[in-house]
Chain A
Amino acid sequence: MLRRFRLEEPESVKEVSELLGRFGEAARVYAGGTELLLAMKEGLVQYERLINVKNIKGLNEVTLDKDTIRIGALCTHHQLENAPLLHQNLAALVKLEQNVANVRVRQVGTFGGNICFAEPHADPGTLLMALGAQMIAERSTSKREIPAVDFFVDAYETCLEADEVLTEIRVPVPADKSGVAYLKFGYLERPSVGVAVALRVDAGGKSIQDATIAVGCAGPAPKRVPEAEALLKGGSVDEAKANLSKAGEIAGGASQAISDLHGSQEYKEHIVGVLLKRAFGSALSQC
């Protein structure tokens, strides 16, 4: 049983923001509830009010706006795994979404909800960082763009202000001669380790013009690893390949893995290195 709460059903983002501003920590945004309701059932959190945001129009579409893919925060995982725009442009995201939890969670859980709950084992943040995504956060009177790389602060914590609402996620359409891959160790198994690699090569396919690497799941929040990226970009493909082990070590260290019941720190860092190599290969093959 859940504890009693009051349900608010606003019809605009502005109203949501006002409610959050008014009630502060006593209220929480409620969309699919797949993570929130579990935490509430466990008694780990309680709220006087849940703000049902599902009646707000226009937040559950996937659209192409020039060279940006716009994903509404209320899109469910089920929607995203079936979205033609994503199948055409972001196969790595489709694969990620296909593997979220199980079919029932995918049916009602939202992309925005997953991102805002910021559960350490979640996948989207890691891939969105590698893709250079922007999060659109709105409050009553303003709107701002937050780079994915700045969005995830700590376990269960984003940089959103108390009265801010995530409304959209914008992903640049991948350029020509680019590839991106997200690999996760053991969906629904442990330890949980996720690595995303995005690459862009030159017209001849011989040198790496850009590389982004993000690691997640092993630490409290996903992060980019610029030090490892530096080893892979700016040189030839062969040079990058030769640096993969070193890049893997650096990425492992950056993952903030600690030894716990799910595995030793060394083991998790090792997995980061393995996934980095494989994700690199996969991304490169798409270029």
Chain B
Amino acid sequence: MQFEKEVEILAPREKVWNFIWDVDRFIACVPGCKEAKTIEAGKLYAATMTEKVGPFRVEFPTTIEVLEREEFTHVKAQASGADNKIGSRMKLSLDVNLREQGDKTVLAFVAGVDILGKLAALGHSIIKRKADQVLDEFARAVKQRLEGDS
């Protein structure tokens, strides 16, 4: 599954870029994501992703690896996690681009999400819808955090 999102943030590009690497605050923008840890600054991070659909819950201990980085403009990362209780794995690829637009910064990202294992039994549309929701909320939260700061 692929998703493309764009959000306009009333903040300078540098600020948005720095926010991305402020791992705790950045991870906090992903709904259901907690316990963010830096394993190797700039390269490797860990977090726990939790989601729920009705009575179905997943908890993916996730490792996030930074693949590419161009200062202030582009970062590419991939994440993977497994919930052994539910016999499911999650793979996420994230391609983030920042561009200036007047006094705003446009944060654009392409996310590839794959859910493997039993969770897929819930149905493609449920997972797709949920992933879409999570990414929307994520984009909104990033905007709010950045614009909320003085």
Contacts and interface: CB of A to CB of B under 8 A. Distances in A.
Contacts of B87: 43
A154 B118 CA distance: 21
A155 interface: yes
Contact of A220 (B55, B56, B124, B129): B129
Interface string B118-129: 110111111011
Interface stretch (A202-210, A234-242, A257-265): A257-265
A44 B125 contact: no
Given A155-B53, A156-B54, A44 B86 contact: yes
A156 B54 CA distance: 5
Q: Is the interface of A mostly helix, strand, loop or mixed?
A: loop
Contacts of B55: 25, 28, 39, 45, 156
A260 B119 CA distance: 16
Contact of B54 (A42, A118, A260): A118
Contacts of A43: 85-87, 118
Interface range on chain B (Cβ under 8 Å from partner): 10 to 19
Interface string B127-139: 0110010000000
Interface in A169-220: 220
Interface string A124-165: 000000000000000000000000000000111100000000
19 contacts: A42-B118, A42-B121, A44-B56, A44-B86, A44-B118, A44-B119, A154-B53, A155-B54, A155-B129, A157-B53, A220-B129, A258-B125, A258-B129, A258-B132, A260-B124, A260-B128, A261-B124, A261-B125, A262-B125
Interface of B: 53-56, 85-87, 118-119, 121-126, 128-129, 132
Interface of A: 25, 28, 39, 42-45, 118, 120, 154-157, 220, 258, 260-262
